[in-house]
Amino acid sequence: MTPHLVADDRTFPPLPPTDMDDVACVLAADWDAFRGIDRMANHWDRPGWGRHDRTYYWMLTFPTAPSLIAEARVCQQHLAHHGLDPVPEDGLHITMKKIGAVPDIPRAGVDELAQLAAALVGGPFEIQAHPMAGSPGAVRFTVTPWSALVRLHATLDQAAHAAAIPVQGRPTGLFRPHLGIFYCPADRPAAPVIESVAALRQRRPIPVKVRSVDLVELRREHRSYQWDVVHSVPLLPVSGPPVG
């Protein structure tokens, strides 16, 4: 069963799509929210994120997705004149869930969390990355459908509770999956960026296979995110009963 998403101003878009698996519905919800903002904000202006901070996250990463990487490059070139901070090709990701600050969680707890997650997660699935929409602090691909991503988020939350790790990330009800290609480095009017992004919205979506979920140690370097993969948990098909 797919968990229910709730409306909340702490996330973006505040209103989730009325149907998580209807492509047109998800696209409209993402785009309507983005084109409704007046100003973009400095993504990097985040208290608690210092140069030396390290934080554990669950993420989907795409280091070997050439079609996705190529499409991100094309869109970045189209929007380069806006002075946004591009996500490097090895930095494309979907943030699934924050776990907590590295000093606060023993490594043994992280290892146990990965083991528990491996026993709970379902099989692989496919999503599509659609050019394009955004948020007050970023320009990003809209991803569809959402149900498998939402279920995975809830499973990772369940694993954290089972490992007795205090959950620091947002609950599943506030999850809004997306895949960023630019971060906004300053407060600025949103209209010029929205106009340029609108010109990309007729491009074809890119299919993306999701075959694992990574537990990473995340850090900020200048104006980009970098990480080291601590555990990569495969999404394995559920084996059926033996035949015969």
Question: 23-234: which CATH topology?
Answer: Cyclic Phosphodiesterase; Chain: A, (3.90.1140)
- pLDDT value of position 240: 46
Q: What is the pLDDT of residues 64-120, one digit of tens each?
A: 899 999 999 999 999 999 999 999 999 999 999 999 999 999 999 999 999 999 999
**Is the pLDDT score of 238 beyond 80?**
no
Confidence band (pLDDT; 50, 70, 90) for 52?
A: confident
* Residue range 168-215, pLDDT digits in tens: 789 999 999 999 999 999 999 999 999 999 999 999 999 999 999 999
Beta strands in the chain (DSSP E): 39-40, 55-61, 85-86, 93-101, 125-135, 138-144, 179-183, 188-189, 206-210, 212-221, 224-234
- For residue 169, the model assigns a pLDDT of 83
**Residues 10-24 pLDDT 10s:** 999 999 999 999 999
pLDDT in tens, 33-51: 999 999 999 999 977 666 6
Which of 92-96, 123-127, 159-163 is predicted least confidently? 159-163
Q: What is the pLDDT of residue 167?
A: 73
Q: Per-residue confidence at 244, pLDDT binned at 50, 70, 90? A: very low
Give yes or no for residue 122 having a pLDDT over 90: yes
Distance separating alpha carbons of residues 97 and 77, to the nearest angstrom: 30
Specify the pairing of strand 179-183 against strand 85-86.
Answer: antiparallel
